Structure 1
Amino acid sequence: MSEKKTALVTGANKGIGYEIAAGLGALGWSVGVGARDDQRRAAAVEKLRAAGVDAFGVPLDVTDEASVAAAARLVTERAGRLDALVNNAGVTGGMPQHPTSDGVVETVRAAVETNVIGVIRVTNAMLPLLRRSASPRIVNVSSGVGSLARQVASDDPAMTGPLSVAYAPSKTFLNAVTIQYAKELRGTNIKINAACPGFVATDLNGFRGVRTPEQGAATAIRLATLPDDGPTGGFFEDAGVVPW
């Protein structure tokens, strides 16, 4: 078993996920680059290695049971344990997302399949590996638009995002799932938290965001490397706690 800490980041071939992998790698971690696109995954691993990161590719489609099981086997063979799992892979589901839009049911289904069910699928597959770590951490990359408190309190799109019956509620669902995991894992050494990266310029929003992917990765990196007296079951951004 490797003495170096090992992380798996889903959706790590680009954007926020790539910068999370780069940030953990810069701290001396071995980082599994989880991604379903073979060419993009290979290019990301090559770029990370060129920067001195101990990166390895993990073929991973979070919507596919067989793919997730194979990823767990790969990490087992590579490292023997997992010290941090960052569930970063996410989709909008498609646009528009007005509740009355044509095809909106399929849009919602697509968002939930990746953003919620995919997180549950990957987390459950990796839990045996996480339990082998002395200080295991799980980070679910959420969004401030998933905060019900903010959605109810404000009509400002800068706070709540555009009208969204798929993406924003899927992140609310993810937040609720994060809480349930924290309750079940209470009393263990596994800490699980949700991270809000802010409005980051990525292809998810047509690069309209005002933050860089590196800035967006900062909170997830902090939560993946929490000390043993750190929080669990919380929702955080750079400025502090995000209201649920």
Structure 2
Amino acid sequence: MSKDIKVALVTGGNRGIGYELVKQLAFIGFKIILASRDSEMGHKAIQQLRESNLDVSFVSIDVNNQESIRQAAVAINEKYGRLDVLINNAGVYLDENKQLLNMDPSILENTMATNFFGVYHMIRSFIPLMEKQGYGRIINVSSEYGTMSEMSYPGVGAYKMSKFALNGLTQLIAVEIKSDIKINAVDPGWVSTDMGGPSAPRTPEQAAESILWLATTGAEGPNGGFFRDGKRIDW
């Protein structure tokens, strides 16, 4: 494979923001691997994208299952020998505005399993493919709910905690990684997806654009930052 062609992996790529990210990255010439837990939905999304002549392939990844992540990393290494961009977009919102102490603990555990540990295991499994070539861009799709100031208000406790932890993970990994590998977190805003609901003001297209620039930023680009619409925001 040509050294000029970059390979990107997007989790939760079968719908919403993930699907838009896959589409937009493919349009600008990336080889895209769309990852989805649901194979049927993943293949349906791939079919739609291929109708637009986009170079997209599918891999089944359940971010709650470490073996599933490990197998995907082995398969991608065998097929491409590299990974340039990892977008950790898969996430869950299970709260319904409950408070931490009043919710069934399994809601918090399941939210953390996907939104925090899922991302941790994805990064841990795929960063060796980036270290091999001394280049990589990792983008964690977070939320303004993960900011420290949001911890002063009750409600949405499990989701807030998961994104708060994800933001911390982003910062910690940023200071651990070497060479031209960068990791950043993004708040896409309130987006009209299955998760955001129909009354959200932003389209998945707008959200994807606000994330995309971090996938293509140069060596002088940010590392360990938190962004909304291309502007750095407070943690």
* Structure 1 position 47, deviation (Å): 1.3
Answering whether residue 88 of structure 2 is matched by residue 87 of structure 1, we say yes
CA distance in 1, matches of 2:187, 2:14: 19
Q: Structure 1 length as normaliser, TM-score?
A: 0.91
The residue correspondences of 1:53-92 to structure 2 (distance < 5 A) are 53-92=54-93
Partner of 2:146: 146
Q: 1:142 touches 1:171 (CA, 8 Å); kept in 2? A: yes
In the alignment, what sits opposite 1:176?
168
Answering whether residue 34 of structure 2 is matched by residue 25 of structure 1, we say no
The alignment partner of 2:87 has SS state of: strand
Is the 8 Å Cα contact of residues 193 and 234 (structure 1) preserved in structure 2?
Answer: yes
- C-alpha separation between the residues in 2 aligned to 1:15 and 1:223? 19
Partner of 1:190: 181
Aligned to 2:158: 166
Per mean C-alpha deviation after superposition, the further-off stretch among 170-179 and 89-98 is: 89-98
Measured against aligned partners, the alpha-carbon deviations of 1:104-147 in whole angstroms (never above 9, x if no partner) come to: x1111111100000001011110111123453100000011111
Q: Could you list the runs of 5+ residues in structure 1 that have no partner in the other structure?
A: 156-161
- The answer to whether the 8 Å contact 1:108/1:166 transfers is yes
**Distance between the aligned counterparts of 2:97 and 2:147, measured in 1?**
20
The one-letter code of the counterpart of 2:121 is R
3-state SS, counterpart of residue 53 of structure 1: coil
**Paired amino acid for 1:76:** N
| Runs of 4+ with >6 A deviation | none
- Unpaired runs of at least 5, structure 2: none
Q: Distance in 2 between matches of 1:118 and 1:209?
A: 26
TM-score by length of 2: 0.94
Structure 2 distance, partners of 1:86, 1:239, is 16
Structure 1 residues 134 and 46, CA, compared in 2 at 3 Å: closer, same or farther?
farther
Structure 1 residues 63 and 39 mapped into 2: Cα distance closer, same or farther (>3 Å)?
A: same
Deviation at 1:49? 1.5
1:150, 1:243 within 8 Å by CA — same for their partners in 2? no
Partner residue, 1:109? 109
1:2: Cα distance to partner?
4.2
Q: Do residues 238 (structure 1) and 229 (structure 2) align?
A: yes
CA RMSD in angstroms, aligned pairs only: 1.6
Q: Structure 1 residues 133 and 48 mapped into 2: Cα distance closer, same or farther (>3 Å)?
A: farther
Aligned to 1:158: none
CA–CA separation in structure 1 for the residues paired with 2:230 and 2:129: 32
Query: How many residue pairs align between the two structures?
Result: 234
State the partner residue of 2:125: 125
Percentage of identical aligned residues = 38
CA distances 1:225-244 after superposition (whole Å, capped 9, x unpaired) = 11111010000010511100
Amino acid at match of 1:163: G
Q: 1:170 and 1:53, CA in 2 relative to 1: closer, same or farther beyond 3 A?
A: same
2-side partners of 1:179 and 1:190: how far apart? Answer: 13
